[in-house]
Structure 1
Amino acid sequence: MMSYIPLLMFVCVCLILLIGYPVAITLAGVALIFAGFGVATGVFEPLFLSALPSRLYGVINNQTLLAVPLFVFMGAMLERAKIAENLLTAMSLLMGRFHGGLAIAVTLVGMLLAASTGIVGATVVTMGLLSLPTMLKRGYDPKFSTGIICATGTLGQIIPPSIALVLLGDVLSSAYQQAQLKMGIFSPETVSVGELFAGAVVPGLLLVALYIGYCLAVAIFNPKAAPKVAKEDIAELDQQQSLSRLMLTALLPPLFLIIAVLGSILFGFATPTEAAGVGAMGALLLALIQGQLSKANLQAVMDSTVKITSMVFLILIGASLFSLVFRGFGGEELVHGFFQQMPGGVLGATLIVMLVIFLLGFILDFIEITFVVIPIVAPVLLMMGLDPIWLGIMIAINLQTSFLTPPFGFALFYLRGVADKVVKTADIYRGVIPFIAIQLLLLIILAIWPHLVTWLPQIMYG
């Protein structure tokens, strides 16, 4: 009976979350209820709970997690400074003269926003508010328009510096050390966030290239779905602000900030936390230059940062408690035994984990999955010989695909909330299907050629 208690815990958490209870309270509450039941029946050792204070102290002392509020602040400040609006205007002027040019502009702006904000919801909402009305006004097909906006909005999941990768890097580092100890290997090696960022560069750029390739294919084979921007509209935009001025004021400053933040991490000049501090200060300076550094904007950005950071760390506390109780009931051994008996070995185990994470992505955000699911399955998969960097990037892209998939994908809900009423929900659902196929294709490519993920971290970090 005891061997099934961890599975029952996991099922209870999912059911209670579906009812609508907060994630952090659900995790901690379910863990305490099961621990109380286990202590009363003599099947749970209460000493496991005594490890919680040291776990929380480790979270407090974790320098890497300091990057989370700083990156959130950076993204929120860039959003309030109207960086996205100026970028979209500049790229529309530059590329709108061609069939599909506006869609490619949206893709490139989405990529830059993903590297700036790192928050999927914020990017999808911002792009939905700014670019969807423009695309519909210029005659773009609603299905194609909503599909490209949702897809580019989820790039914040994989393109560094991504908050998802920061959290994944921290969790995978602990899982890697745990797997090594279980195999009797005593090594100071860990999985750094910088390595995960480096591993995400090529897949992220490859995904953007595949999106642009699809936009070009639509422009060639169905030009009515992606028309040129009319010359009078281009002239109107050009009269408002010249292209050269827009490129200088809208494109270069955020691009320089992204290169400074990401480059300093990849080349080892700064830790992710230090680079995040530079990014936060750079975002403040950009807001000042744009004339958007008002007291109201600063207050809104700080409120947003506090709320998101508090949510992340409260979930982390709940997940730590859940993880301790899960292990106390022998959950780790249950998962390990399940994977060992699975046909197909490491390939079968990886496919099952990816499928479970994909399905959980319908009901849980990446933060919950990172803190709850990854610590359970990652040590077992790493003991089976998987590369931790490759595993982290595959999980990130898998979650990104899950966020796009109808009918529960989070990105679809975000866009539905800000889209014009003339856009049907069915249009959004049908529009994302080609992009889901593209992301699945990328997962297959990375599974066949894992060096696309691992070669850059090996070159930069040895």
Structure 2
Amino acid sequence: MFGVVCIVLMAGFPVAFSLAGTALAFAFGGMLFGVFDTSFLGATPNRLYGLMTNETLIAVPLFIFMGCMLQQSKIAENLLESMADLFKGVRGGLGVSVAIVGMLLAASTGIVGATVVTMGLISLPTMIKRGYSPSLATGTICATGTLGQIIPPSIALVLLGDVMSSAYQRAQRMQGIFSPDTVSVGDLFVGALIPGLLLVVLYILYIVAVAFIKPSAAPSDNRTEEEKSARDLNLWRDLTPPMILIVAVLGSILAGVATPTEAAGVGALGATILAAIRRQLGINVLRDVCQQTTRVTCMVFLILVGAAIFSLVFRGYGGDELIHGIFNDMPGGVVGAMIVVMVVIFLLGFILDFIEITFVVVPIVAPVLLKMGLDPVWLGIMIALNLQTSFLTPPFGFSLFYLRGVAPPEIKTSQIYRGVIPFIIIQLIMLILLAIWPVLATGLPDALYG
């Protein structure tokens, strides 16, 4: 089934219909030969109704709306210009400002593609104009753009939280435990904070190191005191709105005042108010934002429907038992199983988006891994970081495709590939650190929620 899906996808068919169509073809073929348990296919209506009534998934269109509204209101563009001027005169200052703004955009939008495209359009021409190495400039933009995968409120974490909750309950039932305990999206948001911030710090340290070791790759330029005073004032004006929005969204979740879905509503309303304050909210802007939100939301939920059907047919063929048996017989126990899963997810990240992987692969492997004793929050953050690394890796990384689409023609694809290699190494270091010290992901949720 996986092989056929990959072939169909590479032939250019839409993801949602590829998943559902392949699953139904295998289901009907199995029914003809009497090798398929039809009770699983009969569960499809209940599964789809569960998707449509899932309160957690309401956060997806709300966060998408928030990101689109921030993009349309040009808050990101003004913030980058002011932040770049703040670091003017500092070696690698523009690169550092791109990393910081990328982090803030990730925390504001949660959409990888939107962040990479926005940063590529705004910052790449400026970095090249100021003498930055094309490799360093493109690598920095691709890497910081993928922070939307791990920095809350990430849509990837919203979807992962829903899947990990179901996987955790299934793992408990497999052990004969019937408990109401679940894994919430808020747990993943809190667990991702420290790894996400550490990743940003490592990015900045690398950019600064390159600026000192090879000044020609990241030159600095100077400004007068008059320019400094004027731009510092603009910095506070441009920095305050997104910071207020981030605090309102994440702060309400961390304080336990709001669920992630409620916080997403706060974020959507807050982004709309900010656009109105900046006099960027007109009927045309609102129409464009609603159209973009509807388009992306429909894509996400159609993929969820296809993935739900695929998962049911996979289980109808005994796929769960097969995976469980393979993992139990694997050398190295839970460590060996975890390594294999991470490698498979990394490779699948070349051909599948995070939504397909989250709703097709994770429901199959996560219950078995959780039954073997892994922490669900730690496992979710590891998967998110792994996918983020996959999206950066040549030649198939999604982030590279996004940037290639908006980069000037004089920027060579080989330069983009060379530029992301050091950031991939940083990502792998972060994965190793998280594997050695799971407390980096589990410590903060345990401290806040016990």
TM-score, shorter chain, exceeding 0.5: yes
Distance 1:47 1:64 in 2: 27
Q: Report what 2:365 is aligned to.
A: 377
1:165 to 150, 157, 168: 157
Distance 2:144 2:96 in 1: 10
Output the TM-score relative to the length of structure 1.
0.96
1:120 to 112, 115, 129: 112
Residue 258 of structure 2 aligns to a residue in which SS?
coil
Residue 270 of structure 1 aligns to a residue in which SS?
coil
Q: Report what 1:208 is aligned to.
A: 200
Distance 1:332 1:99 in 2: 54
Q: Report what 2:129 is aligned to.
A: 137
Following superposition of structure 1 onto structure 2, how do residues 328-347 of structure 1 map, counting pairs within 5 Å? 328-347=316-335
Distance 1:423 1:415 in 2: 10
Distance 1:302 1:229 in 2: 41
Structure 1 vs Structure 2: percent identity of aligned residues? Answer: 67
Instruction: Please state if 1:280 is matched with 2:268.
Output: yes
Distance 2:75 2:11 in 1: 38
1:183 offset after TM fit, Å?
A: 0.4
Distance 2:282 2:51 in 1: 34
1:407 to 378, 395, 412: 395
1:348-407 per-residue CA deviation (whole Å, 9 max, x = no partner) reads: 100110001000100110001001100011001101111000000000010000000001
Instruction: Please state if 1:66 is matched with 2:68.
Output: no
Distance 2:133 2:32 in 1: 62
Distance 2:193 2:90 in 1: 28
Residue 242 of structure 1 aligns to a residue in which SS?
helix
1:116-144 per-residue CA deviation (whole Å, 9 max, x = no partner) reads: 11111110010000001101111111110
Amino acid at match of 1:219: A
Instruction: Please state if 1:184 is matched with 2:176.
Output: yes
Q: Report what 1:17 is aligned to.
A: 9
Instruction: Please state if 1:449 is matched with 2:437.
Output: yes
Distance 2:20 2:27 in 1: 10
1:184 offset after TM fit, Å?
A: 0.7
Distance 2:424 2:329 in 1: 31
2:345 to 333, 349, 357: 357
1:231 to 215, 223, 230: 223
1:368 to 348, 352, 356: 356
1:248 offset after TM fit, Å?
A: 2.8
Q: How many residue pairs align between the two structures?
A: 450
Which of 289-298 and 394-403 deviates more? 289-298
Distance 1:107 1:244 in 2: 19
> Are the aligned partners of 2:88 and 2:223 in contact in 1 as well (CA < 8 Å)?
no
Distance 1:230 1:431 in 2: 26
Distance 2:248 2:333 in 1: 42
Amino acid at match of 2:440: L
1:261 to 249, 260, 269: 249
1:68-113 per-residue CA deviation (whole Å, 9 max, x = no partner) reads: 0000000000010101111111101111210101100000000000
Following superposition of structure 1 onto structure 2, how do residues 412-427 of structure 1 map, counting pairs within 5 Å? 412-427=400-415
Q: Report what 1:313 is aligned to.
A: 301
1:456 offset after TM fit, Å?
A: 0.4
1:45 offset after TM fit, Å?
A: 2.2
Q: Report what 1:220 is aligned to.
A: 212
Q: Report what 1:458 is aligned to.
A: 446
Output the TM-score relative to the length of structure 2.
0.98
Amino acid at match of 1:201: L
1:271 to 227, 236, 259: 259
1:222-258 per-residue CA deviation (whole Å, 9 max, x = no partner) reads: 11111112437x97xx39x922431232101111110
> Are the aligned partners of 2:111 and 2:154 in contact in 1 as well (CA < 8 Å)?
yes
1:426-445 per-residue CA deviation (whole Å, 9 max, x = no partner) reads: 11000000000000000000
> Are the aligned partners of 2:89 and 2:222 in contact in 1 as well (CA < 8 Å)?
yes
Distance 1:89 1:441 in 2: 31
Amino acid at match of 1:156: G
Gaps of 5+ in 1: 1-8
Distance 2:64 2:274 in 1: 16
Following superposition of structure 1 onto structure 2, how do residues 13-92 of structure 1 map, counting pairs within 5 Å? 13-92=5-84
Amino acid at match of 2:119: M
Distance 1:137 1:11 in 2: 46
1:61 offset after TM fit, Å?
A: 1.7
Q: Report what 2:234 is aligned to.
A: 246
Q: Report what 1:4 is aligned to.
A: none
- Kindly report structure 1 stretches of 4+ aligned residues shifted beyond 3 Å: none
Distance 2:84 2:312 in 1: 52
Gaps of 5+ in 2: none
Distance 2:121 2:265 in 1: 29
2:374 to 386, 403, 410: 386
Q: Report what 1:302 is aligned to.
A: 290
Instruction: Please state if 1:429 is matched with 2:429.
Output: no
Amino acid at match of 2:416: I
Residue 415 of structure 1 aligns to a residue in which SS?
helix
Distance 1:140 1:230 in 2: 15
Distance 2:303 2:221 in 1: 46
1:459 offset after TM fit, Å?
A: 1.0
